[in-house]
């Protein structure tokens, strides 16, 4: 699970996070929504141990992101916005490189890679990644990020710019991860995706959590007919 309490982060004079708190439970998909510059990416970067918080606590799978960063990364699968692949390596090599970095035995990695390929309908793993379409690359990216079978998954805009078949494949994958009991934190701008996938939602704006609840609760509370409308009302307040 993910537990965040009073998390703060500044870049010079700019306060990116002003003390946010939230938590994500295993077997559920938690949405982190917000307009651009709200602090979503900073939060994800802190949870991925790429950045250090100014203050507050962030725990992933029971490990502190500052003091136990190695254990946090071993528990995490991360798909960040605009993540690329190594273009001169094949899809298989991209995946197995990350397996090596996670110290997954080769036999185990190959077995898991084949399982995930089947799940995501990937049959182009031998081709160089430079020849992939965006959707093909994103599927390999997903396999790569979970090759070490992490209990926690963080997805930042995983379907941005993808065509319909790829988007469906990614959403199916997320649902399967949820069914497997993984903790999934999903950041997205697509409200229909949130309604389809998320069990609980946090809306962040200007570095603060401004609303939380299930998609239905948010709509009801803001007297909105859609989640998009609810989101706009919350953010504009």
**Chain positions contacting another protein, by CB under 8 A:** 45, 48-52, 70, 73-74, 76, 78-80, 82-89, 93, 97-98, 100-103, 141, 144-145, 148
Shortest spacing between CB 147 and another protein, in angstroms: 10
210: its two tokens: 């401004």
Shortest spacing between CB 73 and another protein, in angstroms: 5
Tell the burial category of 134 from Cβ atoms under 10 Å away from its Cβ (0-12, 13-18, 19+): exposed
Shortest spacing between CB 189 and another protein, in angstroms: 18
CB closer to another protein out of 174 and 201: 174
Shortest spacing between CB 221 and another protein, in angstroms: 34
CB closer to another protein out of 145 and 166: 145
At 160, give phi and psi (nearest 5°): -60, 125
Shortest spacing between CB 156 and another protein, in angstroms: 10
CB closer to another protein out of 90 and 188: 90
b/e 39-72 (16+ beta carbons within 10 angstroms → b): bbbbbbbbbbbebebeebebbbbebebeebbebb
Shortest spacing between CB 83 and another protein, in angstroms: 5
CA angle 67, 68, 72 (to 5 degrees): 135
Residue 40's closest CA among 61, 9, 71?
A: 9
CB closer to another protein out of 77 and 215: 77
Angstrom distance (rounded) from CA 177 to CA 18 = 31
CB closer to another protein out of 185 and 218: 185
CA distance to 49, 216, 218, 221, 230, per residue, from 227 (Å): 31, 8, 7, 11, 5
CB closer to another protein out of 130 and 165: 130
CB count in 10 Å sphere of residue 84: 10
């Amino acid at each position: 699970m993910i537990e965040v309490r009073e998390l703060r982060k500044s870049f010079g004079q700019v306060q990116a996070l002003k003390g946010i708190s939230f938590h994500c439970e295993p077997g559920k998909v938690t949405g982190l929504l917000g307009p651009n510059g709200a602090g979503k990416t900073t939060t994800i970067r802190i949870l991925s141990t790429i950045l250090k918080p100014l203050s507050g606590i962030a725990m992933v799978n029971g490990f502190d992101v500052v003091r136990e960063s190695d254990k946090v990364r071993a528990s995490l699968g991360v798909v960040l916005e605009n993540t690329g692949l190594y273009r001169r390596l094949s899809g298989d090599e991209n995946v197995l490189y990350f397996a090596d970095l996670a110290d997954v035995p080769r036999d185990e990695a190959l077995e898991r890679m084949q399982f995930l390929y089947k799940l995501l309908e990937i049959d182009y793993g031998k081709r160089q990644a430079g020849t992939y379409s965006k959707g093909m690359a994103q599927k390999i990216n997903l396999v790569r990020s979970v090759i070490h079978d992490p209990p926690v998954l963080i997805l930042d805009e995983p379907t941005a710019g993808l065509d319909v078949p790829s988007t469906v494949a990614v959403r199916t994958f997320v649902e399967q991860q949820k069914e497997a009991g993984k903790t999934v934190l999903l950041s997205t701008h697509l409200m229909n995706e949130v309604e389809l996938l998320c069990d609980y939602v946090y809306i962040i704006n200007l570095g603060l959590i401004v609303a939380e609840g299930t998609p239905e609760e948010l709509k009801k509370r803001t007297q909105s007919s859609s989640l998009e409308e609810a989101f706009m009302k919350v953010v504009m307040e």
